Amino acid sequence: MRRNTATKKKKKPSQKEITLRELEEKVTQKGIQIHYDKLETAGLKLKGGLCKLRGQIHLYIDRRKSLEEKIAILTECYMEPLPDLPESLPHESSEDNQ
């Protein structure tokens, strides 16, 4: 007899998962948007990190990293002061729209 998967209990998050969620919240409170993506293009692995787009700071983390690696990245991002990042995309000027 098969059980209905909707009635299964969710497993309790591990301490590392709880730590990751807490760090995500703290980093987000600093005004940083976190993105977990597969950072690969044309067979090349990309490093990830902070960038500034349209005045907002984004942190890109490869979703394939281990919990420990994600925690280390978020801890560093939370503990360090925000760097003065140049805009990754130039702002549109009024001359461009004419």
pLDDT, tens only, 28-71? 999 999 999 998 877 777 788 898 888 899 999 999 999 999 99
> Is residue 86 included in any domain, yes or no?
no
Long-range contacts of 74-83 (CB under 8 A, 24+ apart): 74/20, 74/23, 74/24, 74/26, 74/27, 74/34, 75/23, 77/27, 77/30, 77/32, 77/50, 78/23, 78/26, 78/27, 78/30, 82/30, 82/31, 82/32, 82/57, 83/50
Say whether pLDDT at 74 is over 70. yes
**Res 85: pLDDT:** 74
Whole-structure pTM over 0.85, yes or no? no
Domains held by the chain: number: 1
| pLDDT on residue 79 | 92
Residue 54 belongs to domain spanning: 14-79
pLDDT at 17 over 70: yes
